[in-house]
């Protein structure tokens, strides 16, 4: 029985029948259990959790909840070490990523995924089509040689391994690829999974099996209670391509599949761009929410300029903050090496922190419970020149402590920027408060 | 004769009488000379340039122009090396800061400023009240011992040294400080200059001389054609304090001074926050533009959360991008060491790049001429897998090249994230294009 069906069968909105993970999410988010139950019922909230995996931290994604951050991991042909990916996993978890995805394309995709699953106590996502395509290339020489069966077989393999959510590019259909061709773009397709599907469909003159046989997808997802993350295989890969007809066509198709997934009791979220100028972000959120029945919106970036590879974690933080404030629920991090190479563990940590900053800034703006309170505690510690408390409270205590030591002041109550001229010292405004109380006392 | 008076005396909007720096700005910005002339006349554009300095790159700041980025430099008591600040200046200029400010508070403030002026070919700003306050402390023991004369004497000293723009906290008046006291804040005053003025005023029961004798300010500024940057001494230093009565009161007062400065033919811009939740940024831009006669808006950050010291360049990039897209004209960078210590040269470079990313992302959103074209060129290079061209075009070619080398792929036409599975390779979508042309040829 999937979580969604369990929730629907509940008589009320609270009480003994509410699964433990739902109660845990409500508690972690400082919201009523009834709000989470309602969100799950309506599909505006998902809690990705494979029924075959245990010990995964219950994590809610969706409306009214804290904006979550995903870190992508995974081997590639050039950096093909499971051990290194486990190091990145630890870096991501230490930096407090809410979920991770294993996007491995190295030699032992199954082995890496299982090792990551074993070591990972947050929801884990994958993109099964990578493995299906790469297995076909290795066995037969081309992605064209994928069989329909192989696609479903790999999907089920991932589900059986305890993967909590899967990206499926179900919206890369003959219709949307044709619209892409008519549209014309600077960057065509920039999604690997989207490229695999598009080529396969065109070469064979056949429909995307994950679309045509979406009932089989739902059957597998339902048996393992895997959450579907309907991927944006036609997402724009350049600001100039954003919000074009191909992208919107795909979103329309995904929206129809959301209805089907919900009818089957399968949790579903929608992936979004990508590259997008700042002034188009709010419209994209509105569009996704409207077309896809308010399903949780999971965005990659978005990247608000194309010119800053080496700093795309910053570019993505700008876009992610704006997007999350406008209603996106889940940010996929971007690392400094995006567009240049596979990230290192340090890049992973940088990427997670940048996305967490974006998510938190947005949570303040959209009034997520507890967000502003964290800032206020930090500001009070800052005002009190309580450096220990600032260290505890800040988003990366180790970095804070390192920088403070490296740039220490001879006036230890302040910092080396202002030293004795620190405006936080009481001496500056105190006379005003004293003058005010004197003035009141003397009746002047 | 100030630039503003010269422009006003022009018969038309173009032609021989237009000063060379105005023509240079129009050319650099890809806008008509008449647009710059009109902006200068109305005060929506400033070109900071001290008549006593030569060889400074003409730099326009204001409506319709590229968003500019300032880098703060300057010694402190703890890191008091002019040589180090000159290294930071080179780092800032190499990273292509549009302006720099020398905020030195070390032993030889005059010497550091003059060395920076000598080495700096972009507009230079300072905050004279720091020096006035610190000289009083050194000579007499307290900032309370500043004389009115000393404030004006230091202001004139900076002007005579060729400083192009000065921050003056003219809005820290008895009225606004009293409003601050009534308001109550987590962080009170976080501006050093604001703190100096507030304390001095309260202790002596006297008005801020830069407000009370603003005519003397205008006389000095007019003689050297120094641009005034009316500083936000009461800017919020915590998200919780943003857009409060003290901040808005100060802005109202500064707006009145804008009128006076323009009447005197002195260029003027307005400084803004500071710490500000994302959802208040657009309102702050509207407020500043309305209250201050559409004077160019120069913002510090803004910082959209308080909890990320160590990463405040990212926090400031998020806020700066949103603020500039909403209409702010000039971003003061924030470095990773903000709130922790004085930055290193590396921090300076990181801060400039982060702010430039924010400024550029905003310029795309607000349609600044040339902004989107840069992105499109980059995207075309990316689509063509032309790595040399990407290196040339990107915001930090050295960093791009370093990362590409460190994370190189055995498939040199791609990168190590996807390697042979790179979706930018022609093989993916080509079949669709071929299928389409076949289909057309055969009439099917």
Tens of pLDDT, residues B195-204: 999 999 999 9
What is the residue-level pLDDT of chain A in tens, covering all 444 positions?
899 999 998 876 666 789 999 999 999 999 999 999 999 999 999 999 999 888 999 999 999 999 999 999 999 999 999 999 999 999 999 999 999 999 999 999 999 999 999 999 999 999 999 999 999 999 999 999 999 999 999 999 999 999 999 999 999 999 999 999 999 999 999 999 999 999 999 999 999 999 999 999 999 999 999 999 999 999 999 999 999 999 999 999 999 999 999 999 999 999 999 999 999 999 999 999 999 999 999 999 999 999 999 999 999 999 999 999 999 999 999 999 999 999 999 999 999 999 999 999 999 999 999 999 999 999 999 999 999 999 999 999 999 999 999 999 999 899 999 998 999 888 887 776 776 665 444 433
Partners of B423 in beta bridges: none
Which domains are delineated in chain B? 59-366 (3.20.20.540), 414-444 (no CATH)
d(CA B30, CA B438): 44
Residue B82: pLDDT over 90 = yes
Residue B210: pLDDT over 60 = yes
Contacts of B354 (CB under 8 A, 6+ apart): A311, A314, B313, B314, B316, B317, B333, B334
- Identify the pLDDT of residue A443: 39
- Identify the pLDDT of residue B304: 98
B30 within 8 A of B8, measured Cβ to Cβ: no
pTM for the full model?
A: 0.96
Residue B373: pLDDT over 70 = yes
Which tens digits make up the pLDDT trace of B379-425? 999 999 999 999 999 999 999 999 999 999 999 899 999 998 999 88
Q: Do B394 and A310 touch (CB under 8 A)?
A: yes
- Identify the pLDDT of residue A441: 41
Could you tell me which chain B residue has the CA closest to the CA of A390? B307
A-chain residues near B358 (CB < 8 A):
318
- Identify the pLDDT of residue A430: 74
Residue B20's SS3 state is: helix
Other CB atoms within a 10 A radius of the CB of residue B98 amount to 24
Share of chain B above pLDDT 90, in %: 91
d(CA B71, CA B125): 10
Which tens digits make up the pLDDT trace of B226-240? 999 999 999 999 999
Q: Do B399 and A317 touch (CB under 8 A)?
A: no
Residue B303: pLDDT over 60 = yes
H/E stretch holding A288 reads: helix A281-291
Average pLDDT of B253-264?
Answer: 98
To the nearest whole Å, the CA of A251 is away from the closest chain B CA by 20
Helix residue ranges, H only, A10-108: 20-29, 33-42, 82-94
- In which residue are the tokens 């989207």 written? A194
Other CB atoms within a 10 A radius of the CB of residue B62 amount to 24
Residue B14: pLDDT over 90 = no
d(CA A244, CA A180): 9
Please state whether the peptide bond connecting residue A274 to the residue before it is cis, i.e. omega within 30 degrees of 0: yes
Q: Which residue has the higher pLDDT, B1 or B299?
A: B299
Residue B429: pLDDT over 90 = no
Residue B442: pLDDT over 70 = no
d(CA A256, CA A67): 25
Q: Which of residues 205-224 of B touch A (CB under 8 A)?
A: 205
To the nearest whole Å, the CA of B122 is away from the closest chain A CA by 23
Interface test with A, best of B69, B304, B332, B356 (most A CBs within 10 A): B304
- Identify the pLDDT of residue A442: 41
d(CA A225, CA A2): 5
Q: What are phi and psi of A443, to 5 degrees?
A: 75, 5
Residue B444: pLDDT over 50 = no
A-chain residues near B375 (CB < 8 A):
238-240, 305-307
Tokens standing for residue A244: 């074009």
Residue B143's SS3 state is: helix
B-chain residues near A80 (CB < 8 A):
none
Mean pLDDT of chain B: 94
For B381-416, the DSSP string reads HHHTT-HHHHHHHSS-HHHHHHHHHHT--SSTTS-T
Q: Do A307 and B393 touch (CB under 8 A)?
A: yes
- Identify the pLDDT of residue B441: 41
Q: Tell me the residue ranges of DSSP E strands in A85-236.
A: 99-102, 124-126, 165-168, 227-230
- Identify the pLDDT of residue B433: 72
Contacts of A412 (CB under 8 A, 6+ apart): none
d(CA B139, CA B127): 19
Q: Which of residues 2-61 of A touch B (CB under 8 A)?
A: none
B-chain residues near A317 (CB < 8 A):
314, 317-318
Q: Do B364 and A278 touch (CB under 8 A)?
A: yes
B-chain residues near A308 (CB < 8 A):
353, 357, 360, 394-396
B-chain residues near A375 (CB < 8 A):
238-240, 305-307
B-chain residues near A358 (CB < 8 A):
318
User: Which DSSP state fits B303?
Assistant: B
Point out the residue among A76, A319, A407 whose CB comes nearest to the CB of B419: A76
Tokens standing for residue A269: 């979220």
Point out the residue among B105, B238, B354 whose CB comes nearest to the CB of A421: B105
Point out the residue among B77, B79, B404 whose CB comes nearest to the CB of A341: B404
Counting one residue from chain A and one from chain B, the pairs whose CB atoms sit within 8 A come to: 388
Q: Which residue has the higher pLDDT, B131 or A426?
A: B131
User: Which DSSP state fits A411?
Assistant: S
A-chain residues near B400 (CB < 8 A):
309-310, 340
A-chain residues near B374 (CB < 8 A):
307
B417 near A CB under 8 A: yes
- In which residue are the tokens 């010497």 written? B111
Point out the residue among A76, A191, A336 whose CB comes nearest to the CB of B416: A76
Interface test with A, best of B423, B424, B430, B435 (most A CBs within 10 A): B423
Average pLDDT of B100-124?
Answer: 97
Point out the residue among A194, A431, A433 whose CB comes nearest to the CB of B203: A431
A365 near B CB under 8 A: yes
Point out the residue among A187, A321, A420 whose CB comes nearest to the CB of B382: A187
d(CA A419, CA A404): 13
To the nearest whole Å, the CA of B8 is away from the closest chain A CA by 36
A68 near B CB under 8 A: no
Q: Do A309 and B417 touch (CB under 8 A)?
A: no
Composition of chain A by helix, strand, coil, percent to 5: 55, 10, 40
Q: Do B416 and A194 touch (CB under 8 A)?
A: no
Give how far the C-alpha of residue B239 lies from the chain's centroid of Cα atoms, to the nearest Å: 20
- Identify the pLDDT of residue A14: 63
Q: Do A189 and B313 touch (CB under 8 A)?
A: no
B304 near A CB under 8 A: yes
Partners of B227 in beta bridges: B165
Residue B10: pLDDT over 90 = no
B-chain residues near A203 (CB < 8 A):
431
- Identify the pLDDT of residue A188: 93
């Amino acid at each position: 029985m999937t979580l969604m069906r369990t929730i629907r069968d509940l008589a009320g909105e609270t009480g003994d029948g509410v699964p433990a993970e739902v109660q845990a999410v409500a508690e972690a988010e400082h919201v009523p259990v009834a709000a989470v139950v309602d969100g799950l019922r309506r599909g505006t909230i998902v809690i990705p959790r494979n029924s075959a995996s245990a010990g995964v931290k219950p994590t809610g994604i969706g409306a009214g909840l804290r904006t979550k951050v995903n870190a992508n991991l995974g081997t590639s042909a050039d950096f093909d070490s499971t051990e290194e990916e486990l190091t990145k996993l630890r870096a991501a978890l230490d930096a407090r990523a809410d979920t991770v995805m294993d996007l491995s394309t190295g030699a032992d995709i199954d082995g890496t995924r299982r090792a990551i699953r074993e070591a990972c106590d947050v929801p884990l996502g994958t993109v099964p089509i990578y493995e299906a395509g790469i297995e076909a290339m290795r066995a037969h020489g081309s992605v064209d040689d994928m069989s329909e069966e192989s696609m479903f077989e790999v999907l089920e393999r991932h589900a059986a391994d305890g993967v909590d959510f899967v990206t499926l590019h179900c919206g890369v259909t003959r219709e949307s690829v044709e619209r892409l061709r008519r549209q014309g773009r600077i960057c065509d397709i920039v999604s690997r999974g989207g490229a695999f599907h598009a080529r396969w469909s065109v070469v064979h003159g056949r429909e995307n099996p994950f679309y045509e046989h979406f009932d089989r997808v739902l059957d597998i997802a339902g048996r393992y209670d895997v959450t579907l993350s309907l991927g944006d295989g036609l997402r724009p890969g350049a600001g100039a391509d954003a919000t074009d007809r191909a992208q919107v066509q795909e979103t329309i198709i995904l929206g129809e599949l959301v209805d089907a997934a919900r009818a089957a009791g399968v949790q579903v979220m929608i992936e979004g761009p990508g590259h997008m100028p700042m002034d188009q972000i709010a419209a994209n959120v509105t569009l996704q929410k409207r077309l896809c029945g308010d399903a949780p919106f999971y965005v990659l970036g978005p990247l608000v300029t194309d010119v800053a590879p080496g700093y795309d974690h910053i570019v993505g933080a700008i876009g992610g903050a704006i997007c999350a404030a406008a209603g996106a629920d889940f940010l996929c991090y971007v690392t400094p090496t995006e567009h240049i190479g596979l990230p290192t563990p340090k890049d992973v940590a940088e990427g997670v922190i940048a996305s967490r900053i974006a998510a938190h800034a947005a949570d303040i703006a959209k009034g997520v419970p507890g967000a502003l309170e964290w800032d206020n505690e930090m500001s009070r510690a800052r005002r009190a020149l309580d450096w220990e408390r600032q260290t505890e409270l800040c988003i990366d205590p180790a970095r804070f402590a390192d920088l403070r030591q490296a740039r220490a002041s001879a006036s230890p109550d302040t910092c080396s920027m202002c030293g004795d001229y620190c405006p936080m010292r009481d001496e500056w405004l105190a006379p005003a408060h004293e003058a005010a109380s004197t003035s009141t006392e003397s009746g002047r």
